[in-house]
Amino acid sequence: MSISRKDFLKIFGSSLALGSLPGTGFAKQTHSDVQIPTSGGEPTDEGFWQDLAKNAYSISSDFINLENGFFGIQPKPVLAAYQSYVEQVNREGALFARREYPKKAAEVKERLADFLQVSTEELLITRNATEAMNIVIQGYPWKQGDEVIVNQLDYYSMIETFQMLESRGILTVKTFEMPLLPDSPEEILQKYQAQVSKNTRAILLTQVSNITGLIVPVREISTWAKSQGIDTITDSAHALGHVPFDLREMDSDFVGMNLHKWMGNPIGAGVLFVKRERIHELQSFFGDKAPQNDSISRLGHMGTTPFAVQLSIPDSIAFHEKIGIDRIAARMHYLKKLWTEKVQKLQNIEVLTPTDSTLSCGMASFRVTGKSGKEIENRLLEEYGIFTVARVLGEKGCIRVTPGLYTQTEDVEKLAQALISLASQS
């Protein structure tokens, strides 16, 4: 039985007039009703940042959240868009997924490519940075005897992926200790240079360390590594949306990113960039009928994707662009400086992050003499209502502090006061 379009609309309701729905013509348009001034927003422009927090976020007032490194709180317009996509997917089901989504997904990818200033042919939308990085690490054409360089500030699960390949006899992992407080990006470059050997095939670069927030100079290291015939595999999970970011300039041929951290997208979205000329070298991580050609899509057969999460990507980009990475990075750096400068000189507090803006942005870590990271995390929450997170770092561990775009100066000032008080009891 065939049904006419008129009957079809009668059966399914007008919601199938997809173009008229909120949240469907999203290439450059969003659900945003939050006005963000184009001027102002300097790091000390408290009015701007207060208005942003008030108008664009719905945040629990029960505690101060300084653990935005896990995932970013979605701004209201992004959340509203996401909810509308969830409803649409749920209303229209497989008809939407099969007939509408492929076109929408292509538009999403175009928007993302436009934002990242690379070709859609070089991007794959993944479910997170772990998936993006695994596609590269496990698909890379390793040869017998290859060595990979990692350090203690890299993300543990990327190190573990390399170690897994090592245990299968595929490569050798060489680990070195990155100084916690290097004086300059050049010093970091030199540390990497000192590690390479004739067997080095690749270096894992964590652009912004999830442990201390240390920023490594990806471009300088990648360009130098290339001159030695060495690849960099870059984990930018904490960089995109947090620090000024230019994939082409970074000069790394393999980069994994997250959209649900600093870009504020709903959870379940990451990105993989592979330079076009390198795609054919990667083995497919998921089964594909063309296991080795130059199409990046063959690397992405990861099954049913979270449609609504991916549809929200243009909305997150639009919100992010309205504030702009320069305003964001400057504000994040300012917030970090506010608290670190107040506690840095205290006898019992060790700030583990260099505070210069070339070496860190919003994230920073510290430890308190004689106290475990978990104890400080718990006490900050229970006694001061401030949520941070203990991280593994050597034997002593550390506590990581990560503001969000809605964080106010008084929040980080309260943290500094709490640390002064904790340090005096140590």
Ligand X SMILES: Cc1ncc(COP(=O)(O)O)c(C=O)c1O
Q: What is the DSSP string of 55-118?
A: HH----SSSEE-BTTS-PPPPHHHHHHHHHHHHHHHHHHHHIIIIIHHHHHHHHHHHHHHHHTS
Q: How many CA atoms lie within 13 A of 178 on its CB side?
A: 31
* Dihedral of the alpha carbons of 397, 398, 404, 408, in degrees to the nearest 10: 160
Return the DSSP state at 178. Answer: P
205 binds ligand X (CB under 6 A): no
Calpha distance 247→239 (Å, rounded): 11
210 binds ligand X (CB under 6 A): yes
Residues 377-406: x where in contact with ligand X by CB under 6 A, - otherwise, as a string: ------------------------------
Among 124, 159, 237, 323, indicate the residue that binds ligand X (CB under 6 A): 237
148 vs 416 by CB, closer to ligand X: 148
CB of 318 to ligand X, least distance (A): 22
Among 258, 265, 402, 409, indicate the residue that binds ligand X (CB under 6 A): 258
50 vs 305 by CB, closer to ligand X: 305
84 vs 206 by CB, closer to ligand X: 206
210 vs 252 by CB, closer to ligand X: 210
86 vs 272 by CB, closer to ligand X: 272
Q: What is the per-residue burial (b if ≥16 Cβ within 10 Å, else e) of 155-191?
A: beebbebbbebeeeebbbbbeeebebebeebeebbeb
Q: Residue 177 CA to chain centroid, in angstroms?
A: 24
8 vs 156 by CB, closer to ligand X: 156
155 binds ligand X (CB under 6 A): yes
Residues 264-303: x where in contact with ligand X by CB under 6 A, - otherwise, as a string: ------x---------------------------------
238 binds ligand X (CB under 6 A): yes
CB of 136 to ligand X, least distance (A): 12
Number of chain positions touching ligand X (CB under 6 A): 11
CB of 208 to ligand X, least distance (A): 7
340 binds ligand X (CB under 6 A): no
Q: Using an 8 Å Cβ cutoff, are 295 and 284 in contact? A: no
Show contacts with ligand X in window 7-46 (CB under 6 A): none
Among 24, 68, 130, 265, indicate the residue that binds ligand X (CB under 6 A): 130
206 binds ligand X (CB under 6 A): yes
Calpha distance 344→339 (Å, rounded): 8
Q: Which long-range contacts (CB under 8 A, 24 or more apart) does 191-199 make?
A: 192/149, 192/221, 192/224, 192/225, 193/224, 195/149, 196/149, 196/225, 196/228, 196/230, 197/147, 199/145, 199/146, 199/147, 199/172
Q: Using an 8 Å Cβ cutoff, are 409 and 78 in contact? A: no
CB of 129 to ligand X, least distance (A): 4
Contacts of 378 (CB under 8 A, 6+ apart): none
Site stretch for ligand X (CB under 6 A), options 25-33, 125-133, 162-170, 337-345: 125-133
Binding site for ligand X (CB under 6 A): 128-130, 155, 206, 210, 235, 237-238, 258, 270
